[in-house]
Amino acid sequence: MNKTKKRGGEVKKTRRNLRGKIRVGILLFLGAILLRKPMLSLMRFLPCFFDYIFFVYPGKESDIGGYLPQFMANGSWYRTQIFFGGIITAARGKRAGRGFLIGAPSTVRSMVRSKEECLILERKMRYIANCFSIKKIAIAGRAPSIFLRHDIALEDPFVQGEKGMIFCTIEALYFVMNKHRLSLQNVHIVVFGAGRVGKSISDFLLSEECTVTNIRAQTVFDQEEQKLPDDVNDVLSKADVVIVISAKGSDFHPHMRYLKDGVIVIGETHPPIMRSLKQGFLYRAGLSLNGLRFVPALETYSATSIPGCVVEAIVSAQYGNISNQKTFNQRAREIGFYACMVE
């Protein structure tokens, strides 16, 4: 009898999950095709109701299904069409504002290849911001670096997300140091992926008198596989903490077996590191804020996980542009952001 009840409960749970996925699929379809313009038009009559917008996109062609129905991206005519993706709720009793998601089926490869595509997206985002009196625009992932490489200046109301990503990584580092009862000044930290953001993270840690080594990893701009330094695995084998900030988590997979026992790996990359780390501890850096939720949740994130680039838009919308990283970190903590780690 108990087994029958248990089996029946599992069937009901499976059906509920399936219904949830169907509802999200319908929402994405309606938001991207049928209701995109009506939704944006309706929101235009709510001035100052939203403080910021967050632009998302699939990393590669195979990821498009997580953002909108795959068939919609088959034609190049739809590549630069921006769709309404969801709401970011305001945190209760906090100076965090309210935002909404927009996105496009543009991929990293298509944006790297086409400056014209990036120009169209930048122009459309700026137009939406003007229509709704938006204070700040955050762009996910590596897109800011791609836009800047095309000499597209991400001027106000755009934020480049660098300070938010640094804050996210530093908070994650403080969290794991406290959890494992370690001191930042007594560990050797390796930053794997010393590009624009990775170099800024290492500079911040050096200012805190930490021991840091940088390793340049594959970037979204490399057309061919780049050869890493010959001693890369030797350097990694001596690391107590590794911060992975490369273009994608899989870049780090071949090097994981060289890490020493007890190592701590913090991933601030999307797509994330997908392999298990048997000889140490693997964390995915994230932030949270009580009451702030993504509806629907971001692909591969929980509804309450907040990427660092969004945090920069939220903080800047409330306090204005902040040039100093330590001041930015302080403001973000005042709002109530805290590390939300996934082990």
- Helix and strand numbers, DSSP H then E, in the chain: 10, 13
- Give mean pLDDT, residues 55-72: 69
What integer is the mean pLDDT of 287-304? 84
Query: Rounded to whole angstroms, how far apart are CA atoms 257 and 317?
Result: 43
* Dist CA 229 CA 220 (whole Å): 18
Compute the distance between CA of residue 82 and CA of residue 84 in angstroms, rounded to an integer: 7
Q: Are 232 and 254 in contact (CB under 8 A)?
A: no
CA distance 62 to 83: 19
pTM given for the model: 0.79
For 324-338, what is the mean pLDDT?
93
Residue 135 identity (one-letter amino acid): K
Domains, the chain? 28-159 (3.40.220), 164-285 (3.40.50.720)
Phi-psi region of 336 (alpha: psi -120 to 50; beta: other; left: phi over 0): left
pLDDT digit string, tens, across residues 214-251? 988 766 565 555 556 667 889 999 999 999 988 778 88
- What are the pLDDT digits (tens) for 131-151? 888 999 999 888 898 999 999
Average pLDDT of the residues of the chain: 81
Supply the pLDDT for residue 13: 54
Give, as one character, the DSSP assignment of residue 76. G
pLDDT of residue 187: 95
Beta strands 83-88 and 99-103, pairing class: antiparallel
Segment 85-98, tens digit of pLDDT: 888 998 877 778 88
Closest among 281, 31, 298, 42 to 181, alpha carbons compared: 281
